[in-house]
Structure 1
Amino acid sequence: MASAIRQLLTALIGATLLAALAACSPLKTLNALTPDDTFDKTEGIAYGSDPRQKLDVYRPKQHVANAPVVVFFYGGSWNSGSRSDYSFVGEALASRGIVVVLADYRLYPQVRYPLFLDDSASAVAWAHAHIGEFSGDPKRLFVMGHSSGAYNAAMLALEPKLLGAQGMSPKDLSGWIGLAGPYDFLPIENPQVRPVFFWPNSPPQSQPINLVRRGSPPALLMAATEDKLVDPTRNTAGLASKLRAAGVPVQDRYYSRTGHATLVATLSRPMRGLAPVLEEISVFVKTAPAQ
């Protein structure tokens, strides 16, 4: 009986919050419901000279030496987004003992592919060089993203030239995590995304699915089964299959009670009952071997 009541309450809370998210700014709602007593935050650290090249660090309130580190990239079709919108992600991971870096990067129309990936690589290089100052372990370094941010994470893990330009290698990553990521999207159908990738001359090497190679970092890929924006079968399942064929350790997870946007929203405290996304990420990060 108690279990049934908990399930009912979770469903009611989820439905109420979903209605609130539809009525106003979803991310502001989630951030307003995010506690601030689980982390210490250092804001506005520059990793480059452009105003968009800044990041925030979320350090667990209970400082532990050599904590694992996750660099997170948000989505927004490479033309919108701000790290300040995702404090609920920083809180979620910090509450699990993970040091979190939330990085902004330049967006279209200021830049096109691959310059926003260069920014992402620079943010990771900053973390690798400086995260020890925040009790993080650079040998336990992960990249993670949602939607187009998951694409950024995938490219850093699969295209050695990106981190190579920063004096690093994908082998410096203990793993990567993709939530609802587009990994195989040519020809481009979304008119907002087309100019970002020089449509109709979008380069095949822009696609993570074409860059899989043996020895790539382990991956945790997560998707909503009813995602209407990024096809989970083509993208998440397709990339997972190709990674396995190359001998790369990969876990793929699919959730029926979330959509494209609510998948990342399950990291917020009010919506964690919809899917065990935070638990899966925490286990993946904490059990991966250091590099």
Structure 2
Amino acid sequence: MRRCALLLSLMTLLACGGGTGPAPAAPAEPPAPRITRGLTVCQVDGERLLGDLYQPPSGAHRRRALLFVHGGGWSTGSRADYEALARNLAGLGYTGLSVDYRLAPAVHHPAPLEDLKCALRWLRSQAAAWEVDGEKVAVIGGSAGAHLAALLAYTPDDPRFEGRGLPREGSTRVAAAVLHGGPYDLSALAGASAQALGTVQALLGTRSPTALQLQEASPTHYVRYGTVPSLILHGELDPVVPLEQAYRLAAAGVQVNAPGRLIVIPGAGHADFGRDPDAIGRALVEFLAQSLP
């Protein structure tokens, strides 16, 4: 499952036209976000996991934070995969942290989830210094990163998945989740590609996972009453992760009245946004504004 980086030019969503008067002067180049790379966001088993911080330029600060989780089939990818989106959303006032996590086959589930919970605790510990409301944090992930982001969002403060990483203090609750092209019910991937099935086996550390193992690693298993709002995006023609996976997650939310929205992207594959990517950008920005008021 390749990375899904939402390469949208969201800055254009700030533009507004109208009027019949003289054409306005060309807008000035928007101020660039402040970027700090290579921060240690978690220490686990003698390894330092790193993150890149994207802070809004002066005057655009919303006091809201986003945690970005890259894809790559749980075995490849890096925090740099989300730079384009993190930059654009920083321009809209959101502080972003894009993080690395340990990869399969060196580790297996739930280690990547534990790493993300560790990074979230670290993010929350820095909230005051970044002028961020620690209760207003959303997680964004694509492909395998969407799977992990969903697990993170749906297992808040669950002692089974908090791990040994430092820091250990702080809540692992988020306020919302944006999920694109992810697998959410690993027990129902019979129609997935051989590549997708192989990455699931690598994540679980076995070629013959049991039904219990598949269920325990599936976000749909953890959807409960009170689950945070989710924006679920999925390509209509996704050749890697079947569209049915998005329907399954949405249906699990409906059963417990969990707030959320599913957008099936017409004509889109696994890592693209179809014929009207700006529409997806608008939906994303609107969802964040509503979920992180």
TM-score scaled by structure 1? 0.78
1:44 partnered with 2:54: no
Q: How far off its partner does 1:95 sit? A: 2.0
Give the number of the structure whose residues are more often helix, by fraction: 1
SS of residue matched to 1:177: strand
2:257 is aligned, of 247, 252, 256, to 247
Kept in 2: contact 1:158–1:216 (CA 8 A): yes
Retained in 2: the 8 A contact 1:224–1:255? yes
Q: Which moved more, 1:183-192 or 1:128-137?
A: 183-192
Cα 1:218–1:111 change in 2 (3 A) is same
**1:169/1:196 Cα in 2 relative to 1: closer, same or farther (>3 Å)?**
same
d(CA) in 2 for partners of 1:88, 1:213:
33
* Separation in structure 1 between the aligned mates of residue 66 and residue 75 of structure 2, nearest angstrom: 23
Mapping 1:92-131, distance limit 5 Å: 92-131=88-127
Counterpart of 2:185, as a letter, is: D
Distance (whole Å) between structure 2 residues aligned to residue 155 and residue 226 of structure 1:
24
Would the alpha carbon gap of residues 218 and 76 (structure 1) be closer, same or farther in structure 2, given more than 3 Å must change?
same
1:223-276 alpha-carbon deviations (Å, 9 max, x no partner)? 1111111112x211111111111011011111114221124xx8xxxx9x5342
Counterpart in the other structure of 2:201: 194
Deviation at residue 168 of structure 1 after TM alignment:
4.9
Alpha-carbon distance in structure 2 between the residues aligned to 1:284 and 1:240: 16
Letter in 2 for 1:217: V
Cα shift readout 1:166-213 (whole Å, capped 9, x = no counterpart): 55556x321111011110122665223312213312412111111111
Alpha-carbon distance in 2 for matches of 1:72, 1:48: 15
Once residues 180 and 69 of structure 2 are traced to their aligned partners in structure 1, the CA distance between those partners, rounded to angstroms, is 10
Whether 2:221 is the aligned partner of 1:210: answer: yes
Deviates more, 1:152-161 or 1:56-65: 56-65
Aligned partner of 1:193: which letter? V
Shift of 1:216: 1.1
TM-score, scaled to structure 2: 0.77
Q: Does 1:258 align with 2:268?
A: yes
Shift in Å, 1:127: 1.1
Do residues 228 (structure 1) and 239 (structure 2) align? Answer: yes
CA distance in 2, matches of 1:275, 1:131: 31
Give ranges in structure 2 of 5+ residues lacking alignment: 12-28
Distance 1:191 1:164 in 2: 26
Structure-1 separation of matches of 2:181 and 2:141: 9
**Contact 1:230/1:260, CA 8 A, preserved across alignment:** yes
Whichever residue aligns with residue 277 of structure 2, its letter is L
Unaligned 5+ residue runs, structure 1?
1-25
3-state SS in 1 of match to 2:242 = coil
Q: 1:52 to 1:260 in 2, by over 3 A?
A: farther
Q: SS at the partner of 1:186?
A: helix
- Separation of aligned partners in 1, 2:221 and 2:73: 20
> Are 2:184 and 1:183 equivalent residues in the alignment?
yes
Displacement of 1:37 after TM fit? 4.4
CA contact (8 A) 1:68 1:136 kept: yes
Q: Secondary structure at the match of 1:42?
A: strand
Q: Shift of the alpha carbon at 1:128?
A: 1.2
> Could you tell me how far apart the structure 2 residues matched to 1:51 and 1:68 are?
29
Inter-partner Cα distance in structure 1 for 2:63 and 2:34: 14
Supply the RMSD in Å over aligned alpha carbons: 2.8
Amino acid at match of 2:202: P
Secondary structure of 2:272's partner? helix
The 1-side partners of 2:259 and 2:59 are apart by 30
Q: Counterpart of 1:277 in structure 2: which amino acid? A: I
